[in-house]
Amino acid sequence: MSRIVRPVVALALVLSGAALAPSHACRLNSPALDMFLTVFCFILLPVLAYRVPNPRVAWAIVIAAPIITFGSTLLYIRVLHWDLFPSWLLGHNLSAERACRANLVQIQGAKAAWATEQHKTATDTPTDADLFGTNAFIRAKPMCPSDGTYSLGRVGERPSCSAKRHGL
Ligand SMILES: [Zn+2]
């Protein structure tokens, strides 16, 4: 059998392994890791399947290719959600960061208005009910576009968002 069959089969199996791998709902991603995984699975594995001189070893690589693809995608998702994962490797979602910042500015304004109206000091902390609602400063509590959670904080502090790289 021609050697060229091996990389073709390997590529087809890598594709099916990638199609079967789970996706994750949150918007975390890492272009650098994506690139590495793509090169490894879609280029390196088929090239190895073609180049390895021993046919048994080469076919073993072909058979293992979808499992490697599936497993490395699982690992990728785990690694992305690891707390110590370096943020410089993560992709930026600039529009979400900007929209979130606009929300936080609005919340900060509502806190200041609340503090003035209720004669509060910098160490007082408003609750959601103080700021949001039909009779409050903002009709509905703003939502972070990346599903972060807002902490209002004290009057003297800036409100914050739990999403990575979100904040004032
Ligand atoms: Zn946010």
Assess if residue 168 is contained within a domain: no
What pLDDT does residue 27 have?
A: 67
- Among the candidates 89, 105, 132, a domain finishes at 89
Q: Looking at the structure, tell me whether residues 74 and 112 fall in a common domain.
A: no
Give per-residue pLDDT as tens, 60-87. Answer: 999 999 999 999 999 998 888 888 888 7
167 in a domain, yes or no? no
87 Cα: distance to centroid of ligand 1 (angstroms): 15
Q: How far is the CA of 163 from the centre of ligand 1 (A)?
A: 5
Ligand 1 geometric centre to CA of 115 (Å): 24
Report pLDDT for 31.
Answer: 85
Query: Residue 154: its pLDDT value, please?
Result: 96
Residue 85's pLDDT is 84
Three-state secondary-structure class, residue 42: helix
**Residue 56 shares a structural domain with residue 118:** no
Q: Tell me which residue range forms the domain holding 79.
A: 5-89
Q: Report the separation in Å between the CA atom of 111 and the middle of ligand 1, taken as the mean of its atom positions.
A: 18
Strand 150-151 relative to strand 160-161: parallel, antiparallel, unpaired?
antiparallel
Query: How many A from CA of 142 to the centre of ligand 1?
Result: 10
The candidate with the shortest Cα–Cα distance to 155, out of 142, 140, 137, is 137
Provide the whole-model pTM. Answer: 0.57
Q: How far, in Å, is the centroid of ligand 1 from the Cα of 162?
A: 6
Q: Which amino acid does the sequence have at 103?
A: N
Q: How far is the CA of 88 from the centre of ligand 1 (A)?
A: 18
Q: What is the pLDDT of residue 1?
A: 66
Domain match, 141 and 74 both: no
Same domain, 53 and 77: yes
CA atoms of 50 and 142, how far apart (whole Å): 55
> Are 29 and 71 in the same domain?
yes
State residue 80's pLDDT score.
86
Q: How many domains is the chain partitioned into structurally?
A: 2
Considering the domain architecture, whether residues 82 and 100 belong to the same structural domain is answered as: no
Kindly state whether residues 75 and 140 are assigned to the same domain: no
pLDDT of residue 141: 95
* Segments of the chain scoring below 70 in pLDDT: 1, 25, 27
Q: Which long-range contacts (CB under 8 A, 24 or more apart) does 84-88 make?
A: 85/30, 87/164, 87/165
Q: Which helix (H) or strand (E) holds 160?
A: strand 160-161
Same domain for 149 and 122, yes or no, is: yes
Rounded Cα–Cα distance for residues 161 and 100 (Å): 8
**pLDDT of res. 89:** 84
